[in-house]
Structure 1
């Protein structure tokens, strides 16, 4: 896999931006919570980064099918480096920070669509399968490092330093792509949606929503991520409840991706393709159920044991999230190469919408309930919610599961 020259800069730049993104997201969320004391406003800050995907994600993602994908990625990295560096200026007003965050997030849809589609272009067969599993594992490790490092920087130094480091990771990632990835032509176009950008968007939406297999995959992905990631928006409030300050905020955010690393290794490395898809149902139940138990444990256990048990159960939730690996594999298998940018745009737009909605819902719930009760309620409500898309996925299961990559970026 790493013998393919084009894969190395794609993989390395992805690691850099993933670590920086987690660090910056934590820094901004804590900064807003410290200034306002509001879990809802803190969750709103977390959710703003998803807004461009919701509003214009499919349209912006078509850029990956209309321009050279390397150029799309480089421009996105360098633009985000400049914007995040501006956010790091000490004393920046909160409204200005939110506007800058929104502008940073606008670069996300075309960048992610180009990266996902280009990875599918440079790797095939078994290399593609291994890259899918490895990228998922490394993404989770990047979240662990980013959140833990961010927690240290935010509590010991300042959120501005975390933002400045994020700007540096974007700049380095863009430079790596320029130096390590050969320029490529505009992607080949097919007849479907070959006109305007809006025609491309409609073609992508039609592709995803009219194919039962694709619809089942994205339906489970959207509902599952809505449930298991909602608590990220109230991480500062959770740390406040569990520790009385922000010392646990990095640990709370890092626990789930740390568990996902273990789940990714086991499912991606040691399970054959057919077994992976059969494990989707049990893993979804494990992931959502562990989230419900985490919230309930804080209410039922004595205070000294509550925080560590909560963190451990969040890690178990992460282990269960390995259900995304076979979904990622199945998604690209069902999408023609020429329209991958559009299909990724639709899938990730929905994914971002539900993640932002989950963070906002958790923030609103934390105004009325304790943060850990919100986590418990999310898991309890989530269990019946995942049943419908899970059953649809089982009905559309093909006789074989080829190994490819998919919309969650893994």
Structure 2
């Protein structure tokens, strides 16, 4: 480990990197708009259909393209200049979301447009993640990752809280126009602020063995992960922990209703977990550092799932009532504190991936991440058609506590091998 890795970098050192500022700011801005639109559409579908399953489907729809085509779509981040991928994705999403705001748009067309917008997320997110690792290294990258995760949670908190108010006071069309505006502003900011770099695939000499294609690039990303035990353990832990910890989001509307509350309280319930992640992420970034937070991974993982189990039990046992609602929100906040385990895990992942493969590797990781979130939300929605939402939440927490044990053991076994000269699959990014 280098000298740089012996102490956490400061926030000032990270923000001093000029290109980090637009990557950080546009990500935060767009996330706020996305959460506004997601809540507005979820509430709209539930109001029209009174179906927990269809409401969960709407919430999950933005995640599912990652599971279906994410690894292939993400290869765009390694085939074209990453700044162009970011700008083009934002321009296209601004146009599509603005179209969703057309008055009288049928529900089916809204969902189709939402799906098209979601298909642009894999190339954008893979390019952004890979470019972050290009402009920052070592503990600066670790702190930048923490800040980005914290900004994600803050943006979700703001988006969820504002969405609850806007859905109550205004039409979903206005909320969608706000989302479109965030993409437009992001595209302009990135155009002005990012350096022009060549496509990274052109620099990777080991790709010259055959004709390049998105399918070949996606397969190479999968093979890299498949032959690297460290990456396999990280991804298994990320996907498993996220699926069970976030399953309750897919049935947030019926869960809030079962507690006797409405759309305004829905926003607070959805914001509780990301608010906890915000505070936990700041503590991990500045107080613990990467090595110590890795050692605390089992504790953080348990803290992210046990309160979910308790929140579900409270919802079932207490029934409708303000006291039960407040306790459920508090437990979800505590679960968010534990969910800061994603920060050291992200740093460990990027340290194990060679630079020319980052877009593809991030594509596989994030594709599965969003895919399991979508599947978790759909599974929760399907179960909530038959049993109370609180019971579904409790089962998700209990199953999650059991399911994360094997990947936690794998993560612990591979750690000593990475502490030396780096992973066998390629040079360490530090």
TM-score normalised over the length of structure 1: 0.95
1:21 correspondence with 2:39 = no
Who is 1:44 aligned against? Answer: 57
Name the residue aligned to 1:190.
204
60, 65, 72: which one aligns with 1:59: 72
Matched, 1:392 2:392: no
Q: Does 1:222 align with 2:239?
A: yes
Counterpart residue number, 2:340: 322
SS of structure 1 residue aligned to 2:264: coil
CA RMSD of aligned residues (A): 1.5
Query: Is 289-298 or 183-192 further displaced after alignment?
Result: 183-192
> Against the structure 1 CA distance between its residues 145 and 244, is the aligned structure 2 distance closer, same or farther, given a 3 Å change threshold?
closer
Instruction: Name the SS for the 2:416 alignment partner.
Output: coil
The C-alpha deviation readout for 1:336-365, integer Å capped at 9, x for no partner, is 000100001111111111001000001011
Q: Judging changes above 3 Å, is the alpha-carbon distance between structure 1 residues 240 and 301 closer, same or farther for their aligned structure 2 residues?
A: closer
Q: Give the stretch that moved more between structures: 245-254 or 284-293.
A: 245-254
**In 1: Cα distance, 2:388 partner to 2:129 partner:** 38
Shift of 1:7: 1.4
Cα offset, 1:234, TM superposition: 1.1
Displacement, 1:399? 6.5
How much does 1:129 deviate?
Answer: 2.0
Contact 1:193 1:199 in 2 (8 A): no
Question: Does the 8 Å CA contact 1:234/1:366 hold for their aligned counterparts?
Answer: yes
Give the 5 Å matches for 1:63-78: 63-78=76-91
Q: Residue in 1 aligned with 2:385? A: 367
Q: Matched residues in 1 for 2:176 and 2:331: separation? A: 30
Per-residue deviation at 1:90?
2.3
Equivalent residue number for residue 101 of structure 2: 88
2:273 maps to 1:256: yes
After TM superposition, the structure 1 = structure 2 runs for residues 133-148 of structure 1, keeping only pairs within 5 Å, are 133-148=146-161
Q: Return the alpha-carbon distance in structure 2 between the equivalents of residues 212 and 291 of structure 1.
A: 30
Query: Residue 334 of structure 1 corresponds to which residue in structure 2?
Result: 352
Report SS of the residue matched to 1:233: helix
Q: Is the 8 A contact 1:263 1:318 kept in 2?
A: yes
Structure 2: gaps spanning 5 or more residues: 1-13, 421-430
Identify the residue that residue 231 of structure 1 maps to in structure 2.
248
Q: CA deviation at 1:192?
A: 4.2
**Distance (Å, rounded) in 2 between the aligned partners of 1:289 and 1:88:** 40
Question: Aligned in 2, Cα 1:350/1:57: closer, same or farther, shift over 3 Å?
Answer: same
Counterpart of 2:3 in structure 1 is none
Q: 2 CA distance for matches of 1:358 and 1:134?
A: 26
CA contact (8 A) 2:304 2:336 kept: yes
Superposed CA deviations along residues 81-119 of structure 1, whole A, max 9, x for unmatched, are 010011112221111011101100111010001000111
- How far residue 193 of structure 1 moved from its aligned partner, in angstroms, is 4.6
Give the Cα–Cα distance (whole angstroms) in 2 for the partners of residues 337 and 270 of structure 1.
28
Give the match's secondary structure for 1:397: helix
For residues 218-267 of structure 1, the C-alpha deviation after alignment (integer angstroms, 9 at most, x for no partner) is: 00000011001111111111121113432311111100000111111112
Q: What is the CA-CA distance between 1:318 and the residue it aligns to?
A: 0.4
Q: Which moved more, 1:246-255 or 1:166-175?
A: 246-255
Matched residue SS, 2:197: coil
Measure the CA separation in 2 of the matches of 1:71 and 1:244: 44
Which range moved further: 299-308 or 75-84?
A: 299-308
Does 1:277 find its partner at 2:277? no
Moved more, 207-216 or 122-131: 122-131
> How many residues are paired up?
402
1:9 aligns with: 22
C-alpha distance after superposition, 1:125-166 (max 9, x if no partner): 332222111111111100000110111101121222111100
Q: Quick one: which of 106, 111, 116 aligns to 2:129?
A: 116
Could you say what secondary structure the match of 1:368 adopts? coil
1:265 to 282, 286, 301: 282
CA contact (8 A) 2:260 2:322 kept: no
Call closer, same or farther: CA 1:203–1:193 in 2, change over 3 Å.
Answer: farther
Preserved contact between residue 75 and residue 217 of structure 2 (Cα < 8 Å): yes
Name the CA distance, whole Å, in 2 between partners of 1:219 and 1:394.
13
Contact residue 316 and residue 388 of structure 2 kept, 8 A: no
Aligned partner (choices 106, 129, 132) of residue 119 of structure 2: 106
TM-fit CA distance, 1:272: 2.8
Shift of 1:190: 1.8
Relative to structure 1, the CA distance from residue 304 to residue 129 in structure 2 (aligned partners, 3 Å threshold; closer, same or farther) is closer
Q: Relative to structure 2, which stretch is displaced further, 62-71 or 368-377?
A: 368-377
